[in-house]
Amino acid sequence: MRIKGGALVVGALAVALTATGCNATTNEGGSGDSGEAKTQSGSISYEAADNTGPAKAVDGATKGGVITVMQVSDFEHLDPARNYVNVQQLTGNLIYRSLAGYVEDGSGKMLLVGDLATNPGTDVNKDCKVWEFKLRDGLKYEDGSAVSSKDVAWGIARSFAPELNEGPHYIQQWLYPGGGYNATYKGPYEGGAMPAGIDTPDDKTIKFTFAEPHCDMPYAAALPTSAPVPQAKDTKGQYDLKPFSSGPYKVKSYTRDNALELERNPNWDANTDPIRTAYPDGYKFTFGLEQQQIAERLVADAPADQASLTWGDTPPAVLPRTTAANVANRVAKGPTQYVWYLGVNNLRIKDKKIREALYYGLDRDAALKAIGGTSAGTPASTLMSPTTAGFEAFDVYNAPPTGDVNKVKEILGGTTPPPLVLAHSNTALRTAQAEAIRASLVKAGFQVTLKAIESTSYYDQVGRKNNPYDLYLHGWGSDWPTGSTIIPPLYDGREIADEGNNNLAYFNDDSINTEIDKIRAMPAAEQDAAWTALDKKLMTDFLPEIPAYYDATHELYGSKVGNAYLSDAFGALQLNKIFVKQ
């Protein structure tokens, strides 16, 4: 899962999930702050009590009011086929529902349960190759029409369309393995055909048949890929602006770069939903503010801002003010599952020695200080986060956090590296961070030019194969808690397409692709160690890009925001059970 390229926001903590039944607990607010990245605990639950709506009530919560989310920039995508940034998914969860989803309470535990479906999926033959989902009774769209399994199939089918390719690709790749998931099937817009391997024998049933075992299908079913899209409501590229609601809220108005307003979907039935409480009457997302302005307003907590929150990290200039007693209890903070990288375009920088020199030239401390210091993260040396299951710390290059200019000179041996273009989001904090990185690389002997990109199209632009950038900042974290959702999306070169790439290093090596296939075929118990070993091999033999830091977050909210906590599924303030204090 991507982390927002513009405003400083965060992603999900990895969770060691097992297929068991267990009961959810309730936490009335706040978040842990050990300062240490950790693998969280949780489970896939098939217990009827966990999979049955309504969602467990929050003590003291009341219905009513409007929550305001203040943002620096607009979303890139809300279309479920294109939605692959954590805060966009948190927003999308209010508008549409997937086959499965997470029940959580901020305690560090969470349950994967059925959302549209009655449970997280049935492994029909007990070999993880055939998965069946049964939709609940009473599911309705915003116009009162019934949600059908055929709508779920259409939603997945349209995600194969080349023009809608920015979202998760797991289910697509499992249906069409071997690289290039949409090389043969390109979506339903030419003739309406469905992908091979998807069947809808009736309006309540959808079945997936894979050639190979995929025991983590319940996790993939929790991604927005499986949200229903009725064919008659599919506006293709314009669906971003008004997804058709199957969740508790619908789009009231959306003015790009200004505001998105959500209001209640009167046809959503709480009795069908074990995940969302839908306490607020609506949500308003405001765009175009500076993060320092947002933070200052939330610290001040004026009446107009008391029911507001931000997914952006607190800027360095405001951090000292957040320790005051009346502010400190309105901060959600801690490590996340993301790693931020100085992405290196391997199509343009093909020499590993140049990449090694960049590794030693990067001043990680300066990059962090520009956005908040230790509240923003800690220096990284691995491609996978410490939150990943089976993680083992290693440091192949042992570069000091401030960089090593002499080592850069040793590696380059007197040669002058080519001029480089470093792309970054055009927000104030990302610009400051990019300048700190540029300064450190210039000090090490590189010629670096900065190129600002509009934050609302950042990943779209760097995700184009033939982009003109040598370097760019980007963040990635696991979609569920294993290296299978980090290494293959980022480094399987067979999946590189013209647009919509997750492999932003544009790295492609046959030996790594083969090893990815080998690990995927291993028993689940052996895979964690194998992904860690492959992380080390990538760093040692190839260094496709440069780990910069392990992400952390520091988010503010107003005094009338109730039950505010960091989502363990997404790492930012969760909206599903939040309420406005009366």
Write the pLDDT tens digit of every residue in 387-437: 898 999 999 999 999 999 999 999 999 999 999 999 999 999 999 999 999
pLDDT tens figures, 168-216:
999 999 999 988 899 999 999 999 999 999 999 999 999 999 999 999 9
Residue pair 502/489 in contact (Cβ under 8 Å)? The answer is yes
CATH number at residue 546: 3.10.105.10
Average pLDDT over residues 95-102: 98
Of the candidates 305, 264, 248, the one whose C-alpha atom is nearest the C-alpha of residue 101 is: 248
- How many beta carbons lie within 10 A of that of residue 384, not counting itself? 30
Residue 17 has a CB neighbour count (10 Å cut-off) of 23
CA 169, 171, 172, 178: dihedral to nearest 10 degrees? 90
In a domain, 488, yes or no: yes
- The structure tokens listed for 173 are 């790749």
pLDDT score of 42: 57
Q: Residue 524: which domain range? A: 334-552
- Domain-located, residue 477: yes
Bridge partners (DSSP) of residue 392 are none
State the pTM of this model: 0.89
Rounded to an integer, what distance in angstroms lies between the CA atom of residue 294 and that of residue 557? Answer: 10
Instruction: Answer whether 172's CB lies under 8 Å from 159's CB.
Output: yes
Secondary structure class of 32 (helix, strand, coil): coil
Classify residue 372: in a domain, yes or no: yes
Residue 440 covered by a domain: yes
Three-state DSSP at 26 gives: coil
- Whether 107 is in a domain gets the answer no
Cα 116 to chain center, whole Å? 21
Question: What backbone phi and psi angles, to 5 degrees, belong to 42?
Answer: 175, -170
- In whole angstroms, give the CA distance from residue 98 to residue 228: 7
Indicate if the pLDDT at residue 8 is higher than 70: no
Asked if pLDDT for residue 26 goes beyond 80, the answer is: no
pLDDT in tens, 261-307: 999 999 999 999 999 999 999 999 999 999 999 999 999 999 999 99
24 — pLDDT class (breaks 50, 70, 90): very low
Mean of pLDDT values over 126-153: 98
Cα-to-chain-centroid distance, residue 117 = 22
pLDDT of residue 109: 83
For residue 405, the SS3 value is helix
User: Cα separation of 106 and 114, whole Å?
Assistant: 19
Q: How confident is the model at residue 35 (pLDDT cuts 50, 70, 90)?
A: very low
Tell me the residue ranges of DSSP E strands in 319-419.
Answer: 331-344, 377-379
Average pLDDT of the chain is: 92
Angle between helices 291-300 and 428-443 (to 10 degrees): 130
Please report which residue ranges of 362-416 form alpha helices under DSSP H.
Answer: 364-369, 405-412
User: How many CB atoms lie under 10 A from the CB of residue 179?
Assistant: 15
Q: Is residue 176 part of a domain?
A: no
- Residue 239 has a CB neighbour count (10 Å cut-off) of 20
Q: Which two tokens stand for residue 534?
A: 């492959």
Residue predicted with more confidence, 346 or 4: 346
The alpha carbon of residue 234 and the mean position of all alpha carbons in its chain are separated, in whole angstroms, by 24
**Residue 337 near residue 14 (C-beta atoms within 8 A):** yes
Q: How far is CA 488 from the centre of its chain?
A: 15
Q: How many domains does the chain have?
A: 1
The two tokens of residue 66 are 């409007």
Q: Is 347 inside a domain boundary?
A: yes
User: Closest by alpha carbon to 436, among 352, 342, 544, 339?
Assistant: 342
Task: Specify the 3-state DSSP secondary structure of 141.
Answer: coil
Distance separating alpha carbons of residues 141 and 243, to the nearest angstrom: 11
Please list the residues that pair with 332 across neighbouring strands: 555
- The contacts of residue 252 (CB under 8 Å, 6+ apart) are 261, 262, 263, 282
DSSP H helices in 309-376: 325-328, 352-361, 364-369
Strand partners, 134: 205
Q: Judge whether 538 lies within some domain.
A: yes
What pLDDT was estimated at residue 107?
85
